[in-house]
């Protein structure tokens, strides 16, 4: 009888903890919508331009526009290029949003032509997600370049809980380079999280220019810290076992007092 109560006590305690603990949820966000447009163009002077555009609606996780112009075939060529991207991927535990605004010109190797060129990029993207966790870490960075002096640009990025309101979770305007940075935010399951991004870059490299670039490349990683509370009702057998466990703990307490 004693061993029965000891086992029941241990089992009941474990069940109490299991029922009290919040349920784990690997991914903190569920995509609701992605609305985005992007356009790019690039042209090496005297050679064919390469305009491109893309758009995303609904739950399309990918937007990509890319333009590339060469001053001829072979390795001795100059190139102008631009890129605009807004993409979502997921790992086992993270939702990952990547955003890019890029324009650049690169001269040929010695012996090739170097006529200069132009490039431009423009993008706007809005993501809406449903929150599936109570506490989330947002790990973000920006790979930024502004070299050569012939291209310029601008980018703005915000993350906000539009259900709860209040201050933005994250707000960046032309932030430059950002190393990996972590911030935590909380909310209720079902809250809507909105990401808004806009960026543009353009420029013209003159004949004889070597290398010039403007780039913002943001990465946002969302990771669950505290998942939602369990919504599962306990089975009758689990309730019975819990009652036996609690009775066993009460019995042990009375014996200890005796």
> Would the pLDDT of 177 be above 50?
yes
**Stretch (H or E) spanning 255:** helix 236-257
Mean pLDDT of 2-15: 46
Mean pLDDT, the chain, whole residue set: 86
Mean pLDDT of 148-176: 97
Q: Reduce the secondary structure of 21-75 to three states and give it as a string.
A: CCCCCCCCEEEEEEEEEEEEEEEECCCCCCCEEEEECCCCCEEEEEEEEECCCCC
Contact predicate 171/161, CB 8 Å: no
9 CB-near residues (< 8 Å, 6+ apart): 245, 248, 249, 252
Query: What is the predicted pLDDT for the residue at 4?
Result: 43
Mean pLDDT of 177-197: 98
Pairing assessment for the beta strands 170-173 and 151-161 based on DSSP bridges: antiparallel
15 CB-near residues (< 8 Å, 6+ apart): 238, 241, 242, 245
Query: What is the predicted pLDDT for the residue at 175?
Result: 96
Specify the 3-state DSSP secondary structure of 122. Answer: strand
Query: What is the predicted pLDDT for the residue at 77?
Result: 86
Mean pLDDT of 188-206: 98
Specify the 3-state DSSP secondary structure of 136. Answer: strand
Mean pLDDT of 76-98: 94
Task: Return d(Cα 129, Cα 34) in angstroms, integer.
Answer: 9
Mean pLDDT of 142-167: 97
Residue with tokens 């005297």: 46
Query: What is the predicted pLDDT for the residue at 236?
Result: 56
Closest CA to 224 of 23, 28, 90, 92: 28
Domain ranges of the chain: 2-21+232-257, 29-226
Task: Return d(Cα 164, Cα 100) in angstroms, integer.
Answer: 28
Query: What is the predicted pLDDT for the residue at 18?
Result: 45
Task: Return d(Cα 30, Cα 248) in angstroms, integer.
Answer: 43
Read off the pLDDT band of 72 (50, 70, 90).
Answer: confident
Higher pLDDT, 75 or 58: 58
pLDDT tens per residue, range 104-142: 999 987 777 899 999 999 999 999 999 999 999 999 999
pLDDT tens per residue, range 211-244: 999 999 999 999 999 998 765 545 555 555 455 5
Q: What percent of the chain has pLDDT over 70?
A: 78
Query: What is the predicted pLDDT for the residue at 126?
Result: 98
- What tokens does 7 get? 């086992």
Task: Return d(Cα 109, Cα 159) in angstroms, integer.
Answer: 43
Lowest mean pLDDT among 16-20, 39-43, 90-94: 16-20
């Amino acid at each position: 009888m004693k061993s029965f109560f000891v086992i029941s006590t241990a089992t009941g305690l474990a069940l109490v903890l299991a029922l009290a603990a919040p349920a784990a949820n690997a991914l903190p966000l569920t995509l609701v919508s992605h609305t985005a447009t992007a356009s790019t163009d690039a042209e090496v002077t005297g050679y064919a331009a390469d305009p491109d555009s893309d758009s995303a609606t609904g739950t399309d996780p990918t937007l990509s526009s890319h333009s590339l112009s060469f001053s001829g075939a072979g390795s001795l060529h100059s190139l102008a290029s631009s890129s605009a991207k807004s993409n979502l991927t997921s790992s086992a535990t993270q939702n990952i949003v990547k955003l890019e605004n890029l324009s650049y010109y690169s001269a040929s190797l010695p012996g090739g032509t170097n006529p200069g060129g132009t490039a431009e990029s423009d993008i706007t993207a809005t993501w809406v997600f449903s929150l599936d966790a109570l506490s989330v870490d947002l790990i973000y960075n920006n790979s930024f370049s502004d070299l050569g002096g012939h291209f310029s640009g601008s980018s703005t990025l915000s993350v906000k809980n539009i259900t709860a309101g209040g201050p933005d979770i994250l707000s960046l305007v032309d932030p430059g380079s950002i190393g990996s940075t972590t911030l935590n935010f909380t909310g209720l399951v079902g809250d809507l999280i909105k990401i808004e991004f806009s960026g543009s870059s353009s420029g013209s490299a003159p004949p004889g220019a070597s290398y010039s670039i403007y780039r913002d490349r943001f990465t946002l990683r969302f990771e669950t810290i505290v998942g939602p509370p369990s919504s599962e009702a306990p089975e009758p057998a689990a309730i019975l076992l819990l009652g036996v466990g609690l009775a066993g703990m009460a019995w042990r307490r009375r014996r200890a007092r005796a």
